[in-house]
Structure 1
């Protein structure tokens, strides 16, 4: 089972022209990821650039429309992620409970955890078969 631990952004992550991490926080997050790697459950982890460097694609009856960042509502933005593969939801919950506060101890922060779909979750179909033919490492499952 794969789970994504998503760090929600905070206004200072969006406002700063360059990110200068708090050394204690950065060390704690590095140690946490090292522990995940030693346990064999870490698949990937990275921070995301501020929304001012991104864009969104809006879909509607008129087609697609590109909207450049920055985006005003920061509480819905993701600042980074950690992707893990574990045996159960409970194991993912235990790992996520140990995630260090990404903005520093005692400060407000939110980390959200969501399970990823595996292609096996969708059953057999031509669309699933096309994805399987791509042989992507992110497909999960064992077909």
Structure 2
């Protein structure tokens, strides 16, 4: 089962505050564990939405919207792409993850649609 694991944005991540050396080390160690377990497929941190854009669609019209975007808690600051046996395994791994932010934070896990879902 493939899942996307989202690190939700915080005020710090939206300010562009970079993680401490200690946090980078802890996350690096966690990522190494994911690699050794054969789970990690990809991962990356995202720059703040102030450096991003959105494209809004309405029929044939396209409108470009410059960041930053509101609702910080609904934004994504980073992600992993994992291959796990089931959602329980994904949750167990997330529980082992270092807190990705200096303060309170959330991680969301979402399964991908697979071809078998459409048959």
Q: Report the TM-score when normalising by structure 1.
A: 0.77
CA distance in 2, matches of 1:88, 1:61: 38
Q: Choose 1 or 2 for highest CA Rg.
A: 1
The one-character-per-residue Cα deviations of 1:14-34 (angstroms, maximum 9, x if unpaired) are 123xx4321221111111110
Q: For 1:73-118, what per-residue CA distance to the aligned partner results, in whole angstroms no more than 9, with x for missing partners?
A: 21111000011101111111111111210113xx211111111111
Q: Larger RCO: Structure 1 or Structure 2 (Cα < 8 Å, ≥ 6 residues apart)?
A: 2
Instruction: Tell me what 1:9 maps to.
Output: 9
Larger displacement relative to structure 2 (107-116 or 53-62): 53-62
| 1:24 aligned counterpart, secondary structure | helix
Shift of 1:46: 0.4
**For structure 2, which runs of at least 5 residues remain unmatched after alignment?**
none
Aligned length: 119
Deviation at 1:55, TM superposition (A): 0.9
Which stretches in structure 1 are left out of the alignment for 5+ residues?
Answer: 124-143
How many Å separate the matches in 2 of 1:90 and 1:21?
A: 28
Aligned match of 1:37: 35
Select the structure that is richer in strand: 2
RMSD after superposition: 1.5
Partner of 1:113: 109
Residue 85 (str. 1) matches residue 83 (str. 2): yes
Give the Cα separation in 2 of the matches to 1:65 and 1:73. 20
